[in-house]
Structure 1
Amino acid sequence: MTQVDPGIIAAWIDADPDPATRDELRALDPELLAERFAAPLTFGTAGIRGPVRAGPNGMNIAVVTRTTAGIAAWLQGRCLGGSTVVVGRDTRRGSESFARAAAEVMAGACFRVVLLPRPLPTPLVAYATRKLGAAAGIQITASHNPPEDNGYKLYLDGGAQLVAPADREIEKLIAAAPGATSVPRQPVEASGDEIVTSYLHRVATLPRTPQRNIRVALTAMHGVGGETAVAALRGAGFTDIHLVREQFEPDPAFPTVRFPNPEEPGASDLLLSLAAEVEADIAVALDPDADRCAIGVPAPGGWRMLSGDETGVLLGDHVLRHTTGDRLVATTIVSSSMLGKIAAAYGARYAETLTGFKWLVRAGSGLVYAYEEAIGICADPHTVLDKDGISAAVVACDLAASLKSANSTLLDALSTLMDEHGVHITAQVSRRFASLHGIADAMARLRGAMPAEIGGEQIEVTDMLTLRGQRRTDAVVLRGRHLRIVVRPSGTEPKLKCYLEAAMDDNSPGSRAAASKLIDAGRTFAASL
């Protein structure tokens, strides 16, 4: 364990404005205390996340205060002092006090602060930042992380997530910030509902067809999206909505799910059970901060959740079918390549970016749609430059209603896309590690012994750490004729992720079997890492 200067620890404790976290640090044994000070939380995907606990590498009022002071200094250094800053929150442990601290620090630095009136979905902060022309937007949330975590998400650039080098520049200013009790704070009154009302009016315009005759089953996964999602769907004309009551009210303990993420096995079981019970046409699962949306459908063997890629290509096709002109759609290097073929069929442009919406929303001009396989969808980039589970749910229901009116289903539409563009099967294998060191070791082992063949296909390897510019990242791409595997560390969780795709030229039984065989080979390879 790295030794930490006792003076640094004492200074931090003396400057911690929260007596509970001061007492927590004083009660720790020397080894645990040193671990809390070993390294501060650093910016990952658009902000910081960590366990709610005392010390520099936890989420607490002192960390939030100094982080906000660093952001305020960065904005002032770009002649943006006095600008508007939006602050929002979810209902995780500490979120209310963290949001209040962030708002008051910004006000103390002479920014005009719009503090959203209550816990609201993350897309509302992205929307408000863009709508108000704010210099920054701050959302206190850890999205779908485990219950013990919280986080701090930052928007810049008209409502887009921050990217390098701004993140590293801000980190330096955070490190230089004074002790938390020395950071000026000014009381802030919460705003009214004007932003929420404006957002709901916008979402109501997103459906592109007149059909509304569907029954919807919905879960908010114990998060903050339920009330807003119901209002958005009803405003768009979808009124036959059935709720998973056990998961509707916000609850930071997430009592019915081990991990509050619709992608996790079992997380959507209550939703699918309700959908079957009420004979719904579509099931919608939001993650806790409602920036992600997963879709469930009735299938021959019972209800199932669509993958992020299945939902992504279905909604991408729907958007392109109902838009014209010079259009760009985008996805990431780990998502299905089918979207590119769909775009070509509509005469639209297509782009692939690194993972994350901080890159997707910067894919180029004319962006009308973007998605990533991790159930993230940007269906209205003109107003929300980030993934948005609420607007995605509205567009998905619009598509489902349109298909129902033609005696078709989402699975029928997916089959049609594969008939037109070939079978594309995607899968993900994730390994959870106790620490980041395990992930780094696994990546080092892979780079030290790159495979020449997987599943009978010769493999070409691209180590993206050797690239220059914005495409440089810690990932390895293994590509055969029909198989692609991307291996990378997660940006938000202690996981190593392997993304698999088998893409064939047609949708024949032989091609489907061959694609499944390649995916199995990819799983075997991923399990060996």
Structure 2
Amino acid sequence: MSEFDEIIDAAEAWNAAEPDEDLRVELVDLVEAARSDDPEERAAARSDLAQRFSGRLQFGTAGLRAAVAAGPMRMNRLVVRQAAAGLGRWLLDEQAAGRIDRAAERGVVIAHDARRKSDLFALDTARVLAAMGIRSMLHPGVQPTPVLAWSITGLEAAAGVVVTASHNPPADNGYKVFLETGSQIVSPVDTQISACIGAFDPLAVPLAQEDDHLIRRLDLSWQEAYVASIPAVRLRPEVPGVPVAYSAMHGVGAETIELAFAAAGFEPPIPVVEQHLPDARFPTVAFPNPEEPGAMDLLLETAQESGAAIALANDPDADRLGVAIPTDDGGWRKLSGDEIGWLFADHILANTTGDDRLVVTTLVSSSLLGRMAAARGVHAEETFTGFKWIGKIATERAAIGQRFVLGYEQALGYLVTDRPLDKDGISAAVLMAEIAACAAADGVTLQGRLDAIADEFGRYVTAELSVRMEPAAGAAWVDDVEASPPATVGDRAVESVSTYPEAGLVRLMLDGGVRIQIRPSGTEPKVKLYGEGVDIDVAVLDELLAALAATAPAN
């Protein structure tokens, strides 16, 4: 039997089990195209089929993410059922080993966003868990990821699941798993769950009935409880608010953020009307990520027209926060993720007290946070890339008496409270609105706040560059840089090399204190390069990143 025949057999077996008519039709059409007389159509279809059936979608530290389509390398109900079964088996194993108490009884709390098939993926997860004797709790309707993460500890659940692809392209969906602490899973839990997933046949995972007694449907009380916690985020509650423009980026954050602003004593934000309601098509943005060029254009227009003092954007599941500020020339400027983090640090450290305070950031974020913390006499930690590690550090340091007050990663992830232990774009938006209000009350601009930080610590400059590469090629390139680091990058000598195997990251320190870092992306087929220098021109930093990128092998 040829390789093509094996793929066709696998596709037909998949279709026999596929529960969704639209995906069955899509796969039948693809198989027919793979037999077409047109050589181009035939080649394209066979390549697509080969990719879909080349293995199984791997469950990593970000869970699962892929385009919604049929096949084991895509997001669909069969893949989700297999993943849910693997999670259930891991929980039962942990319960049997005495590491998670009463896991089946405490159960799993589940929420979903508004992307294609998210509701079906969430319900199937509950049905799979119920069939395994594990209780599940389904949030009503669509919910932001922070509400799900926050509710895990309140419900004393053994784990949490949110169906979302976060800021991925419109065609994608995803599946995130949280620990009982409300933080995302970290190694080795991800590999343990992945091994459990592999033990199940995705075509034959048992399902309970939708009305099974182990499936509990929650009401809105947990969203209400989350909103009720928001006022505690404010550090200067006496300061009146300022006009805030806001984009939900076609995601699920709008309703909750309006409730959160009201609870915090602020007027509702001024919405980008075209992007305010959930829409799985994401019609106004090709890539619904506030970091992406053009994604915040409509927000900046709304801010300009409304006379807002600040512009805020959540990504579609509302766990990230983008920010733009007015400029002296009457325009608007998007802040980098680090600049947002510096504003949070400046505000939080100025309005809290105690030498037990702790701030945490990631390896690829700016090193300025550590200097700010040292100047204020508080603890600072640097951890691996990914917010899950920030949650882990916060949990560990609490055991030795350190009080978490801020965690951030430059990819627009911020946590400005101690719950949930995951990035939260809603509570962060409320505190950023307060920062803007305080600046206005003090008669300064937000750029003025950033300038004051630069006056004290130096002007930290950061830059990023991504090189599109397949994951295996990207990992190999980073390994090569580690094994044989360059003597120079551009016109600057490499003075030291540090490696962080757990993060897959290599750090090069160049002449003049410039820091260049390189690592493969954990969620996309690319390698990311990060640069930082003090009192350096950003164009110089961009040139250094481009010089290192030019050494990438042909892909």
TM-score (ref. length: structure 2): 0.88
Partner in structure 2 of residue 413 of structure 1: 449
Aligned residue identity for 1:443 = V
Aligned residue identity for 1:425 = V
Output one character per residue of 1:257-291: Cα deviation in whole Å (capped at 9) or x when no partner. Answer: 12111111111111111111111111001111100
Aligned residue identity for 1:70 = G
**Which piece of structure 1 moves more, 154-163 or 172-181?**
172-181
Aligned residue identity for 1:332 = T
Partner in structure 2 of residue 509 of structure 1: none
Partner in structure 2 of residue 344 of structure 1: 374
- CA shift at 1:412, angstroms? 0.9
Contact 1:461 1:476 in 2 (8 A): no
SS of the residue 2:89 aligns to: helix
RMSD over aligned Cα, in angstroms?
2.1
Match of 1:42 among 41, 58, 78: 58
State how 1:199-238 maps to structure 2 within 5 Å.
199-209=226-236, 210-238=238-266
Match of 1:108 among 112, 131, 135: 131
1:451 is aligned to 2:481: no
Match of 1:158 among 174, 178, 181: 181
- CA shift at 1:346, angstroms? 1.4
1:306 is aligned to 2:335: yes
- CA shift at 1:431, angstroms? 2.4
SS of the residue 1:459 aligns to: strand
Partner in structure 2 of residue 122 of structure 1: 145
Partner in structure 2 of residue 376 of structure 1: 413
Aligned residue identity for 2:77 = I
Match of 1:278 among 295, 306, 318: 306
- CA shift at 1:67, angstroms? 0.5
Output one character per residue of 1:55-111: Cα deviation in whole Å (capped at 9) or x when no partner. Answer: 111110101111001100100111122222110000111111111111221222222
Match of 1:477 among 507, 510, 534: 507
Figure out how many residues of one structure are paired with residues of the other and give that number.
513
1:322 is aligned to 2:351: yes
* Distance in 2 (alpha carbons) for counterparts of 1:362 and 1:234: 31
* Distance in 1 (alpha carbons) for counterparts of 2:497 and 2:126: 44
**Which piece of structure 1 moves more, 33-42 or 412-421?**
33-42
- CA shift at 1:127, angstroms? 0.5
- CA shift at 1:222, angstroms? 0.7
Contact 1:424 1:515 in 2 (8 A): no
Partner in structure 1 of residue 392 of structure 2: 362
Output one character per residue of 1:481-515: Cα deviation in whole Å (capped at 9) or x when no partner. Answer: 42111111111122221111112xxxxxxxx3x34
Partner in structure 2 of residue 488 of structure 1: 519
Aligned residue identity for 1:154 = V
SS of the residue 1:78 aligns to: helix
* Distance in 1 (alpha carbons) for counterparts of 2:262 and 2:3: 56
Contact 1:477 1:487 in 2 (8 A): yes
1:464 is aligned to 2:487: no
Partner in structure 2 of residue 516 of structure 1: 538
* Distance in 2 (alpha carbons) for counterparts of 1:317 and 1:2: 60
- CA shift at 1:445, angstroms? 5.4
* Distance in 2 (alpha carbons) for counterparts of 1:43 and 1:462: 31
TM-score (ref. length: structure 1): 0.92
Partner in structure 1 of residue 30 of structure 2: 28
SS of the residue 1:82 aligns to: helix
* Distance in 2 (alpha carbons) for counterparts of 1:15 and 1:206: 48
- CA shift at 1:177, angstroms? 1.4
Q: 1:281 to 1:5 in 2, by over 3 A?
A: closer
1:146 is aligned to 2:169: yes
**Which piece of structure 1 moves more, 54-63 or 517-526?**
517-526
* Distance in 2 (alpha carbons) for counterparts of 1:461 and 1:40: 39
* Distance in 2 (alpha carbons) for counterparts of 1:17 and 1:35: 21
Aligned residue identity for 2:174 = G
Contact 1:91 1:224 in 2 (8 A): yes
- CA shift at 1:352, angstroms? 0.4
**Which piece of structure 1 moves more, 171-180 or 54-63?**
171-180
- CA shift at 1:464, angstroms? 2.8
Partner in structure 2 of residue 508 of structure 1: none
1:174 is aligned to 2:202: no
SS of the residue 1:21 aligns to: helix
SS of the residue 1:367 aligns to: strand
Q: 1:517 to 1:112 in 2, by over 3 A?
A: same
Partner in structure 2 of residue 430 of structure 1: 466
Q: 1:473 to 1:520 in 2, by over 3 A?
A: closer
Output one character per residue of 1:110-137: Cα deviation in whole Å (capped at 9) or x when no partner. Answer: 2222211111111111111122121111
Q: 1:519 to 1:9 in 2, by over 3 A?
A: same
Aligned residue identity for 2:538 = S
- Structure 2: gaps of 5 or more residues: 35-45, 96-102
1:93 is aligned to 2:111: no
Aligned residue identity for 2:493 = Q
Q: 1:206 to 1:175 in 2, by over 3 A?
A: same
Match of 1:255 among 280, 283, 286: 283
State how 1:34-73 maps to structure 2 within 5 Å.
34-73=50-89
- CA shift at 1:442, angstroms? 4.0
Match of 2:316 among 288, 312, 317: 288
Aligned residue identity for 2:341 = G
1:132 is aligned to 2:148: no
**Which piece of structure 1 moves more, 413-422 or 447-456?**
447-456
* Distance in 2 (alpha carbons) for counterparts of 1:266 and 1:359: 30
Contact 2:66 2:172 in 1 (8 A): yes
**Identical columns (%):** 42
Aligned residue identity for 1:519 = L
Aligned residue identity for 2:227 = L
**Which piece of structure 1 moves more, 16-25 or 324-333?**
16-25
Contact 1:291 1:388 in 2 (8 A): yes
Partner in structure 2 of residue 506 of structure 1: none
1:353 is aligned to 2:383: yes
* Distance in 1 (alpha carbons) for counterparts of 2:226 and 2:548: 42
1:525 is aligned to 2:547: yes
1:500 is aligned to 2:522: no
Contact 1:16 1:181 in 2 (8 A): no
* Distance in 1 (alpha carbons) for counterparts of 2:428 and 2:163: 22
